[in-house]
Each structure stands twice: as structure tokens, then as C-alpha cells.
Chain A
């Protein structure tokens, strides 16, 4: 499934927080979007979902397999969310409902978009939990989010995003809230699942090291604009824009400190 973002501009009040962003995720490709916080990455993903905050206005064009999403009816968008477009959010500690069991949350998109009974939904949730490597999937689905570790919660988030086998996955900093070891595990899981299903992926992060492990192409955002884009290797080794250079420096710094 291909995603084409063309000249997307998001204004809040009279501030242009996303300013003419264009980005292309070809069918089955893994594309990254990188930038420091406040650069408009998250708003771009929310615009794709049609979930911009109150008072934000988007112009330009967002096409999913040629279908225009900007200006589409809420009903049409709701039918795409969770079914055709899966989303993994940043902080699994806050994106899971604390009072709903893990299994019911994993199965929620399924129950919503398909006619499936409670029992079948549970079985699918167990299968999905096993697929993302949650321990004891049979019993883990009856636990509440606070009973899981951060990495396990993000696995739940991934299971939830992928349960309807979406053609496009949006990942908004899915590993940022995790510690380094868990980050590597979750990234590997992500990579495997996306590969297996030939899902298109838009991966948002501020960490070039993470990006280089999972995507081939990336766009660098700064103050709502794309300042540089190209193969990740090129961004990493021959950065042209100073923002990109800054991100590379930051990556080196953390890598050195780690080693």
C-alpha cells in the first residue's frame, strides 16, 4: 500500500507547524521520518490518520493508494483507521487503557472492523500475543497493562496495530520510551513482522541509529519542513544539511558513550 504526502501544511492558529512536507512511502517500502522534537513529525502522522488536535487545519494532499484522505469524511477515515492503517505510538505506558485487559485491547480493532465473536476474538488475541513474543499468551491476555513491563506493553501495542493486517503501519517513536536492550528487541520484532507481511511502514523517530536499522529511506524534518531526504546510509555518512549533521553527531555521541 502506497502513501503519498504532497505539500502537507498544518496550521494551528496562524502558526505553520508543518510547512509543505512531501513524502512518498512506496508499496512495501520502509521509510523513516526523523527530526528533533517539535519538528512536526507527530503532527504529520496524525494528519494521515485525520486525528489532528482541535483547531489544527491541514492543507495539501495525503493519498493512500491514490485515495485522498484530507477532507475525507470522518466515517470513511474511521473505517481506515485500525483496519488499513495500523498505528504504534510512542509511550506504551500511556497508550494502553489501564482498566481494560490486554487481550481485549489487542482484539479491539478486530472486534470493531469485523464481525467476530467474543470467543474468536480472544483466540485471535492469544495468537497475536504469541506472534509478538509475549510470554504465556494464554494467560497474558487476561492481565492489565500495569502488570506488564514497558517492552511487553509495546509488544501489545504492536500486536494491536497489526491484528487487522493493515497495508500501512505508522510508527510514531515506538522505541523511544524503552531502554536500549528492549529497544533492540522491539525493533527486531518490528522488522520481522513488517517483512513477513510486506507492510508499508512510515517510521518516525529522532534517533538516526534506530532509523538506520529499520528503514532504507528517510526524510529529515526541521521546523515543519523537509530539509533533506535520501537513503539512510547517505544521510548517515554524507549529511548535507546542518540539522542532519546534528542528528549524526548526536548518534555518534550516544554510541560512544555506550561503548
Chain B
């Protein structure tokens, strides 16, 4: 795939531009917050509790006088680490199980399929809470639980996609050209499964942000000395009746980030499929000297299903 065309198409889509833009801001905040925050996010000051937003405290302060803006700012690091790490775990688990469940000997792939179905039945949050109960709450627990939980659902969707693509004529043709299983997987199966996979991955990364927030909210996630949007939300919501305005900030941060990840996933899917790619890069360019029209899209396989599996709702 030509990278230039892909990036241009991605940024040309409103969802892609928003997703890339917002996530760039989040990542930039995460990096900067390692070295500098406007105020110390853990610095308490009982005399300045529940200040309303002002130039000194853009988002106001909380019950113990901590600056909410600094706290939200510092917590982006936690979010980025959790999202990226659980994305990596989910990819490894997902692609590994999907390949095992589709390309191996019959008894292996059937057993893996059953295993996947069994694992899918476990709610991710329950896995996380069980792990947290056993090992104590930490970000590692969140990453492992969410990575495995969503890795399994990625595996289920990707497995059936790989099975579908493996039966296509172009895979048979590739094998008739001498490609072995590994080469077929790398060159034809994964690129064709990628659109579905990317959507699933972006969902699982988005959900990991929610899950971290949810688990921290419940007290199983980030330890007290780690800033986290979910923990802040949980702290602030106790006072929602008195100071409803302050809950908005961590809520907004979570919502925008999850939304950005979802939209980015959709945009990447659309941009990575040359048949869906907008722009004038192709159609008709090959008509050339013969003067023959290059014809309609013809019997090409339909585009990947748009939205394979809804995420579990994490509350």
C-alpha cells in the first residue's frame, strides 16, 4: 500500500482528522506532564477547596483544593499508557489466537475456537476485578485484563474473517504461485483482515480507557498516587449534588478520547481499503491508449462489514 495516499486520505476524512488531532493533543499532554504540570496535581490546600474556574485554576479545584486542570493533565499519561499497552496485548492475543484458530490442523483450530468462545463469555471487568482481588489493584492488572478480554473478542472476529479470506480465489491463486501458509498470512490474509481488525482494535483501546476509568472509579485500578481520570471522576461524583460543574472535566476528557479512538478506527478502516478510498488516484487512469473504459467495480468482493461487534458496555 502506498503510505502517502493512505495518510492523505485518512487526514482528509473529518473523523480521521478529529481522531488524529485529539489523540495528538492527548499524547502531547502525556509527554509534557511527565516533566511539567501547571500546578502539582496532588498538592492539597483546604483553603482553596471548590474554587470555581478562574485563570489560576481553569477547571476549578476539588474537595481538598487540588487543581483539577493539573490533575486531568497529569492523568493523560496514565490513559495513554493503558490504551497503548492494552492495545499491544490485545493485538498479540487477538492475532495469535485468530491465526491458531484458522490456519492450523483441524483439531487445533476447532479447540481454539471453543476456547475463544469460552473466554468471550467472561466479562472483561470481572476478569479485571478477579485479578485485582488476587494481585491488588494496579495498572498492570487493568492492562492485562483488558488486553486479554478484548484480544479474545478481536480473535473471534478476526478468526472468522481469516477463514473467509482463506477460502477466496485470490488466496488459492497465491498458493498456486508457491506461497506457503506464513507468506499467505502475511501478504494476503492480514492485509484483507486489517480493516475489521483495526476497528476492533480501536474499540478495544477506547474501551480500555473506559475500563481503566471504571476500575479506578471502583477502586481496583490506578493506585492512589497515580493520577487517573476514573479516580478523579469517582472522587468528584460524591459531591455531584453540590458541585456538579467539576465532574464535567474528567468526564469530557474520557468521552472525547474514547470518541476520537472510535472515529479514528473507522477512518483508518475506510482509508486502508483501496476500494473505499476517496480521491481520483485511480478509476479511469488505466483506460489509456486502448480507449476502453476501465469498467465498473465489477464482481469485487463487498467491502468489509462496517461494525462487527458492539463493545461490552463498561459502566
Question: Given A94-B168, A136-B289, A146-B300, is A49 in contact with B176 using a C-beta cutoff of 8 Å?
Answer: yes
Is residue A147 contacting chain B, with contact meaning CB distance below 8 A?
yes
For B168, the chain A residues whose CB sits under 8 A away are 94
Cα A89 to Cα B274 in complex, Å, equals 23
Is residue A96 contacting chain B, with contact meaning CB distance below 8 A?
yes
Residue of A80, A142, A144, A150 ringed by the most chain B CB atoms within 10 A: A144
Tell me how many residues of A have a C-beta within 8 Å of chain B: 44
Is residue A37 contacting chain B, with contact meaning CB distance below 8 A?
no
Residue of B2, B170, B274, B282 ringed by the most chain A CB atoms within 10 A: B170
Instruction: Let me know if B273 and A99 touch, CB within 8 A.
Output: yes
Is residue A97 contacting chain B, with contact meaning CB distance below 8 A?
yes
Instruction: Let me know if B300 and A95 touch, CB within 8 A.
Output: no
Instruction: Let me know if A108 and B294 touch, CB within 8 A.
Output: no
Contact of A144 among B106, B192, B282, B288 (CB under 8 A): B282
Top 8 closest A-B pairs, CB basis? Answer: A135-B288, A82-B177, A149-B295, A82-B178, A81-B178, A93-B299, A147-B282, A94-B169
Contact of A97 among B2, B174, B272, B299 (CB under 8 A): B174
Interface positions of B (Cβ within 8 A of A): 1-2, 106, 168-170, 172-180, 183, 187-188, 191-192, 194, 272-275, 282-290, 292-295, 297-301
Is residue A7 contacting chain B, with contact meaning CB distance below 8 A?
no
Closest to B194 in A: A99
Closest to A83 in B: B178
Instruction: Let me know if A78 and B301 touch, CB within 8 A.
Output: no
Closest to A151 in B: B292
Is residue A255 contacting chain B, with contact meaning CB distance below 8 A?
no
Instruction: Let me know if B170 and A144 touch, CB within 8 A.
Output: no
Instruction: Let me know if A140 and B286 touch, CB within 8 A.
Output: yes
A residues 21-45 with Cβ under 8 Å of B? none
Is residue A222 contacting chain B, with contact meaning CB distance below 8 A?
no
Instruction: Let me know if B295 and A150 touch, CB within 8 A.
Output: yes
Cα A82 to Cα B2 in complex, Å, equals 26
For B297, the chain A residues whose CB sits under 8 A away are 146
For A148, the chain B residues whose CB sits under 8 A away are 286, 294-295
A211 vs chain B, min Cβ distance (A): 22
Q: A93-B300, A99-B1 are in contact. List 11 more A-B contacts (CB 8 A).
A: A49-B175, A78-B179, A87-B173, A93-B298, A97-B174, A108-B187, A109-B178, A145-B300, A147-B284, A150-B295, A160-B177
Instruction: Let me know if A80 and B178 touch, CB within 8 A.
Output: yes
A160 vs chain B, min Cβ distance (A): 7
